[in-house]
Structure 1
Amino acid sequence: MNDSLARVGPRKQRGSWRRRLAIGAGVFAALCGLGYAVLLVLGVFTWQRLTEHDTKCCWEENATPEWMAGVMGFRVPQAATDRRAGFKTSSQYDVGLLTFTVTTAEADSFLQPLVPQGKKMLPNLDPKAPGYTRSDGFTHLGLPEPETFTEGMRHRPVCHGDAQTPESKALGLCAKIYAHEFQPGATRIYLWAAIEGDIGKPPAP
């Protein structure tokens, strides 16, 4: 009888130790899961705040179309209407925006000297969804992003000297050009450039 009781006692102790270990492991796992969830929520909140800040922050108020055209090195057609410009600074790179509307014939005359011989503007085969925005895009100027258009849209990157023309050699920045014929005979030109060097601030009005 006594031997039997002596054998039961250690088993109970070992079983109790295993239960305590299992409970401890469960508590540890729960705490780890809770900590991960808290970090995830904080990360999402921080990302949202940074995105909102990046979208609204650091746009220069005095960036005129004339100043931005001079910085980029583009000669805007005299007949261009609805001229708009933006200049955004950030810790990584600055962004310049310039856009205007011309007749489609004038748009062709503007684009032709900027495109290398034998090359052409490309259609938008991979459009963004309607309503797409970006923190350094044309939404800031009250316009839809050109990447959302397919009908009547053509685009191409251009850099200094790509074409052997005075217009191409005058470029001060590499830029993305979008040309959108939004109605027959009328085209809006969009120019977007990332700026890594310091070009200074636009002059006060």
Structure 2
Amino acid sequence: MNRPAAPPAAVTRKPWQRRLAIAAWIFTGLCVLGFLGTALTVMHEMRQPVEAERRMCCWEENAIPEWTAGLLGVQVPETATDRRAGLHSNVQYDAALLAFTVTTAEADRFVQPLRRDGTQMVPNLHPEEPGFTRSDGFTHLGLPEPETFVEGMRSTSVCPREAKTPESGALRLCAEIHTHEFQPGMTRIYLWAGSDAPLNKPPA
């Protein structure tokens, strides 16, 4: 009578074989980590030019403050300092930006004739996080976005001829106006105006 075949004996690895297997696993893990590190580095390097291009994209050259003020139809106070401006164009809309610094009293005199009767500028109750940027915002002009400020910030929106004043009649675009009293007695005014129709471009 035939006996059933005995199961094969378990294969026992020798110590040097175990060390070789462990070394192979470690080598494979290092290769995978090295590949992932290289891939992440390449992606980061590729993203930097894309981010830089995105920040610079679509901004018109030569949109100086004087020209931009004329485009918006506003008269910047003669005493204004740190004047900055830009014109952003894309397939959906154009945006004109103007910023300057005046005394708080002058800021009030600038904004008052543009506001509708009975309206007040409102505080920023829902600020964006510090460092917030937008592709068509004031970051391009080297300024923090006004939406990030709370203390001393007031905002309103105006459209042409909403107030019965020469200043409102001269306004050519609906605009968002932010005033930021960044230190006692000194205020920076931000104007942002968007248009679905293409805006005139600054002269070369």
Q: TM-score under structure 1 normalisation?
A: 0.73
Aligned to 1:164: 164
Aligned to 2:189: 189
Aligned to 1:146: 146
Deviations 1:84-132 (A, max 9, x none): 0001110110111000000000000001101111111111011001110
| Structure 2 alignment gaps of length 5 or more | 1-46
RMSD: 2.1
Q: Structure 1 residue 180 and structure 2 residue 180: aligned?
A: yes
- SS of 2:106 mapped into structure 1: helix
- Whole-Å separation in 1 of the counterparts to 2:136 and 2:199: 17
Residue 189 of structure 1: how far off its partner (Å):
0.1
One-letter amino acid matched to 1:73: G
Aligned to 1:68: 68
Aligned to 2:199: 199
What aligned pairs does 1:40-189 form with structure 2 within 5 A after superposition?
53-189=53-189
| Structure 1 alignment gaps of length 5 or more | 1-46
Aligned identity (percent) is 63
- Whole-Å separation in 2 of the counterparts to 1:192 and 1:91: 18
- Whole-Å separation in 2 of the counterparts to 1:200 and 1:166: 23
Q: 1:162 to 1:50 in 2, by over 3 A?
A: farther
Q: Does the 8 A contact of 2:93 with 2:198 survive in 1? A: no
One-letter amino acid matched to 2:113: P
Residue 161 of structure 1: how far off its partner (Å):
1.1
- SS of 1:181 mapped into structure 2: strand
Residue 48 of structure 1: how far off its partner (Å):
10
Structure with more of its chain in helix, by fraction: 1
Count of residue pairs the alignment pairs up:
161
- SS of 1:200 mapped into structure 2: coil
Q: 1:50 to 1:194 in 2, by over 3 A?
A: farther
- SS of 1:66 mapped into structure 2: helix
Q: TM-score under structure 2 normalisation?
A: 0.74
